[in-house]
Amino acid sequence: MINAAQNRWLNIGYRLYIILFFVYLILPLLAAGAFAFNDSMFPSLPWKGFTMDWFFGSDDPKIGMLHDRRLLNGLSISFWVALFVSSLSVLVGTCNAFLFERIDFPFKNFFYILMIVPLVIPGVILGIAILVFASDIANAFEDNLNFDIEWLRPGLVLVVLGQFSFITTITSLVIAARLKKFDREMEEAALNLGASPARTLRTVTLPFLKPALFGAGIVAFLISFENFNTTLMLVGSDAPLTITMYDRIAKVGSTPVLNAVSVFLMIGSGALALCSVFIQRDKPDS
């Protein structure tokens, strides 16, 4: 049996482990963020003074992220791609949740596993597979019908399809978990009172699912916005932010302006993550 002294040391050890774990996670982020405010051309020590030039600077060589056209263009592309992918993923994920939770059909377990598979496939492999598949179709149309399907070539359409292929699985699981908690007697009561199935869905079921819908949308947006592996394989001339940052590092090396972008992403991602947690919390009276 574990006596009181052993239990006390176990609690201390557990708390120390939790503290060290979070320090291990946070310290690299703090270090990367700190160099965004260092008045130096390189993101490294020694500290040469505090500056905001890497955010707002407009004069060469200290051009801040808000005056860097390539970074701003990449940020804009990432935003619209993430918005489109998250909206599409929530829509299809909701349909998937109703399909697997409400309907019995042949080979249901097989199709459910098939839906989960994209989560366990490495992003690079998934991107390559989609690229090869789309290119083969486009080449077949061009060779046999002399018709080029441009959207099957590397570009934003393939980026959206590639991200959608695995992000939809995540939204499906989030929404399905919420749908499992729903009391179907509420729908039956609405139908008995004369409501149509469509109105019951709109006024009873979807309001109950709203926290999961918003939460899944935020998660999908964050995953899409910060995706790199799959996007790298499918991107064309219009590069999202992650690819733009990778290209900048590959060509000129790490610069403080990339640290400034990292600070912006950390703050934005943290804010959206907190919103997701807040939205998905059940109200006391629910």
Nearest C-alpha neighbor of 257 from the set 79, 74, 71: 71
Percent of the chain with pLDDT over 90: 37
3-state secondary structure of 38: strand
Handedness of CA 76, 78, 79, 80 (dihedral sign): positive
What is the rounded distance in angstroms from the CA atom of residue 97 to the CA atom of residue 2? 45
Question: What is residue 29's predicted lDDT score, i.e. its pLDDT?
Answer: 86
Contacts of 98 by beta carbon, 8 Å cutoff, 6+ apart: 179
- Per-residue pLDDT tens over the stretch 192-219: 888 888 899 888 899 999 989 998 999 9
pTM of the full predicted structure?
A: 0.86
Is 243:74 a contact under the CB 8 Å cutoff?
yes
Average pLDDT of the residues in 265-277: 84
Residue pointed to by tokens 């000129």:
252
- Look at residue 252 in the predicted model and tell me its pLDDT: 78
Rounded distance, CA 243 to CA 232, Å? 7
> What is the pLDDT confidence band of residue 188, given thresholds at 50, 70 and 90?
confident
**Out of 1-10, 12-21, 82-91, 119-128, least confident range:** 1-10
- Residue 119, token pair as written in the block: 């989560």
Query: What is the three-class DSSP state of 59?
Result: strand
pLDDT at residue 45, as a whole number: 80
pLDDT band per the 50, 70, 90 thresholds, residue 285: very low
Length of the chain counted residue by residue: 286
Angle, CA 118 vertex, CA 107 and CA 112 arms, to 5°: 20
Q: How far apart are the first and last CA of the chain?
A: 41
Q: What is the amino acid identity at position 173?
A: L
Write out pLDDT tens, residues 245-264. 998 888 877 888 888 998 88
- What are the residues facing 50 on neighbouring strands? 38
8 A C-beta contact, residue 159 and residue 131: no
- Please tell me the number of Cα atoms within 13 Å of 142 on its side-chain side: 12
The alpha carbons of the chain give a radius of gyration, in whole angstroms, of: 24
Local confidence band at 280 (pLDDT 50, 70, 90 cut-offs): low
Structural domains of the chain ordered from first start: 68-253 (1.10.3720.10)
pLDDT tens across 38-74, in order?
888 888 788 888 888 888 888 887 888 888 899 999 9
Which is more confident, 92 or 25?
A: 92
Instruction: Using alpha carbons, list the distances in angstroms from residue 26 to 29, 33, 67, 93, 104.
Output: 5, 11, 28, 32, 46
Alpha helices in the chain (DSSP H): 4-34, 53-56, 69-102, 108-116, 123-145, 156-180, 184-192, 197-200, 206-226, 229-234, 241-252, 256-280
By the 8 A CB rule, do 251 and 259 touch?
no
Q: Is the pLDDT of residue 282 over 70?
A: no
Instruction: Kindly report, residue by residue over 93-136, the tens digit of the pLDDT.
Output: 999 999 999 888 888 899 999 999 988 888 899 999 999 999 99
pLDDT at 286: 43
Residue 5 has pLDDT above 70, yes or no: no
